[in-house]
Structure 1
């Protein structure tokens, strides 16, 4: 019955309505809206009943669209009865919606507006988010993981298929799509609590068959860490030691644990996690280099000793530890560190230490004045 009603609906949209042939082989009657057929009163009543049925079906269809749009937080255009009922329930918002849809029934592309409250994501540890400076509840583990996936690709759309594969380890259940839509709807309400009903989302947007976190309207601590690390190395290169030390410390202070902890092992996030971890190790070495340069040798020794135990094959860390020990008046310890590293490289990798390490060992042996 519904299919037949849709056919009638389509005919009305094109300006005419076809009424089936009557018993006895009489031809079908085509009625032009606004005119009455030349036939008898029976045809007129039948057509009036049909028009009434179409109007009722249209109203029911619009109500269903409104219900599912509200339940799933979809951005569907409303027409006809849907606009009327919505206008009565939501005032000016319904009028604005009707104006934006226009006569075509298609909503024009809208320019995103900045959300009223700033949104910040924290992924350098367990997933967290703040809206307007206040922490928000990101919900169940799967919902948090979905958000982490999107944050890892900030500014780039992530397809629904990829999200389903990653969230359910390649085996999404039949209800996976429904669950994913619910996660997105919940996150939109959390991230933009003041967004008016039926207005487009600005932070978590739909893009094709996927979703996108708009980097223009959200901040992420991973990006800020990268900026601070870069600023630290630039300051160190130009000899601005205090600024370098401050930049490195500000960046490293953002870390609270493993990056993207909820989805660290997924194929989509693993490359970004590895990049951030390498940048973290490099920033730690940069901070220690700045500490040595400003004369905080003992502080650098304590931090580099722990660092090289955790990462014994990082040659720059070993070089810094040797230099810090020498400047702290511990020449024998400095040579022992360098020679132990030399042996480890030969035994585990079958290679010699880098030229810079070999040069540092020679300079320590002869107590070169330039070592300070």
Structure 2
């Protein structure tokens, strides 16, 4: 297949990492690895474009240039990654129609609540237009699949699942030893967390985690909480951590994706509350490395973690319940072992990236033959 690929929310070569970016790049790279030709049709970012009229002339010029690129490439199919009200696809529906090729959205998102706010109405309507004009839509979250089924015919909608390459996150004793020696963690219980430390729900989640860990720090001085990640909220969170738990919380800074498996391997379990979190790739990575997970029972963690089998989930913003789950896993070695054995199996059975993307590839191939 010759595929015109477009990511309106954030181009896949964007310098700032995120879970969405990883999913989009992984989809692109997998299709290319299978021998398909891909053209990144546009690098133009459509985030909040409907509320930025000064950018509309530039968008029009980008539309004309993208149409020329696509015509020259002569694709069999247009594939958009992640269209929703904040970043509706304003290129794919029109260009695919002009070229007479199928139009597909991977990770479509739809929620009617955004039609009731004048600030989000235009984005909502633009996104709905793209979804209704798609020949097929893939949803990789339960809530998205449910919402999309209200406007998309069953034969045009597929429930798919994101994933990771399990072999990249296997437990590594050498990596564990390296990290434990570097931070003098031998003989200590280690909880790992990782997040972008920006001033939004990410920082709120880490704040809740620090608050949940604080009483544990006083009772169990040989326990350490490691937090990987960086961002503008880091200085404030470091000050809060020092105030609440002294030197028992260690901020690691940004850790390269290819090095994360060492840090997972060095920990006893993983904790990240996940306020307003989507699926959360870190939950998959941690479980693959054999780490039980402690999180809130919000929609993202619930899709990734099996409560009482591969982790412990508690109500959102219930700090005391999260703290109790942290203590339970610290003290119950038998439970940790049981979950450590179940977690990698869960990931390999349900979130093996290659298996899941092969299903997407087969569907794209069948759709491209409609041309």
TM-score band (shorter)? under 0.3
RCO higher in 1 or 2 (8 Å CA, sep ≥ 6)? 2
Structure-1-length-normalised TM-score: 0.24
**Structure with greater helix share of residues:** 1
Q: Please identify the structure whose Cα radius of gyration is greater.
A: 1
**Structure with greater strand share of residues:** 2
Structure-2-length-normalised TM-score: 0.24
